[in-house]
């Protein structure tokens, strides 16, 4: 039971990071039908911003805020420079553009800073543990779960209680009609990318804090898992993206914790097989968007 509880906390912590990234992907996809594989590079940009800030002796709290802010600005800039001109293009063209942006940013970091992981020195308390008698939980796992919960509540507030948030939800349902009633499309899309960037920035903070380093490929694996989570939850569904992120995290952590050593090398294949099985049972996702079948 102790091991099960420990693994459950780890699963929530990792699944929360995937959920944040998946939610960022879903927010953008629900409005402009773009699967932004450069989203992982936004996470990498935030990681390097935190590294540079700490290297310049900026306080940790300020460095974290700076990293999230830089991620948000980078995401908005990415939309303005790379994706705005492509608005209305085919899904294939948008996908190729996102891959191109992703590769450009990776090459810039690999040649401009370092192709190898760069260590980040964080306060000692962030690597500590909380002893709860029968259970020992790392401080970062607790922080991750709390931050993810706060982020989801904050996003829910923005989407339901603010004018632009309501406009985003309406755009996700029927973007052409939203434009006809006088809402500026550029504002709605820019807000979607800004929110996506903030979520990637928060995920970067948690990822870097747990691993203690940043590298040009830092966002590649997490964004792939986030994409899987988005598809599993239901493309375009914000709630489904969150659910999918946690499911992917749970599957990954529990397989890592309970598989025999002889089977461990096949963990990723088994994990993907379980997810494929879920999609066979629920082809539209675990929590599909209401307009998933629209033409």
pTM confidence score: 0.91
C-alpha distances (whole Å) from 29 to each of 193, 231, 235, 237 are 10, 11, 8, 9
Tens-place pLDDT, residues 162-172? 888 888 888 87
Taking residues 209-235, report their average pLDDT.
Answer: 93
Residues 6+ apart with CB under 8 A from 174: 291
In this model, does residue 291 exceed pLDDT 70? Answer: no
**Chain position carrying tokens 């608005």:** 87
Query: What does the alpha-carbon distance between residue 187 and residue 199 come to, in Å, rounded to a whole number?
Result: 18
* Helices 2-32 + 185-211 axis angle, to 10: 160
pLDDT at residue number 295: 38
In this model, does residue 8 exceed pLDDT 70? Answer: yes
In this model, does residue 192 exceed pLDDT 50? Answer: yes
Q: How confident is the model at residue 104 (pLDDT cuts 50, 70, 90)?
A: very high
pLDDT at residue number 292: 52
Q: What is the per-residue DSSP string for 151-219?
A: HHHHHHHHHHHSHHHHHHHHHHHHHHHHHHTT--HHHHHHHHHHHHHHHHHHHHHHHHHHHSEE-TTTT
Percent of the chain with pLDDT over 90: 55
User: 263 vs 223, which has greater pLDDT?
Assistant: 223
In this model, does residue 149 exceed pLDDT 70? Answer: yes
Taking residues 230-243, report their average pLDDT.
Answer: 90
């Amino acid at each position: 039971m102790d091991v099960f509880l420990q693994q459950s906390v780890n699963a929530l912590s990792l699944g929360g990071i995937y959920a944040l990234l998946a939610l960022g992907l879903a927010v953008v996809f629900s409005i402009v039908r773009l699967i932004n594989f450069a989203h992982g590079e936004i996470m990498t940009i935030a990681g390097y911003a935190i590294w540079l800030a700490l290297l310049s002796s900026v306080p940790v709290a300020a460095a974290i805020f700076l990293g999230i802010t830089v991620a948000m600005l980078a995401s908005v800039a990415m939309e303005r420079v790379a994706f705005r001109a492509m608005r209305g293009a085919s899904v294939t063209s948008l996908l190729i553009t996102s891959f191109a942006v992703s590769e450009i940013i990776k090459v810039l970091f690999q040649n401009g800073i370092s192709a190898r992981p760069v260590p980040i020195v964080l306060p000692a308390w962030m690597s500590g543990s909380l002893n709860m008698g029968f259970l020992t939980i790392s401080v970062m796992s607790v922080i991750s779960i709390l931050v993810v919960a706060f982020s989801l509540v904050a996003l829910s507030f923005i989407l339901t209680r603010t004018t632009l948030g309501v406009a985003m939800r309406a755009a996700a349902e029927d973007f052409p009609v939203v434009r006809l009633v006088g809402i500026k499309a550029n504002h709605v899309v820019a807000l979607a990318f800004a929110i996506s960037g903030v979520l990637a920035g928060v995920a970067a903070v948690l990822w870097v804090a747990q691993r203690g380093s940043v590298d040009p490929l830092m966002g590649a694996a997490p964004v792939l898992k986030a994409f899987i989570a988005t598809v599993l939850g239901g493309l375009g569904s914000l709630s489904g993206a969150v659910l999918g992120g946690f499911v992917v995290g749970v599957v990954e952590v529990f397989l890592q914790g309970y598989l025999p050593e002889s089977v461990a090398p096949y963990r990723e294949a088994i994990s993907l097989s379980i997810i494929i099985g879920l999609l066979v049972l629920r082809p539209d996702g675990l929590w599909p968007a209401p307009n998933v079948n629209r033409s």
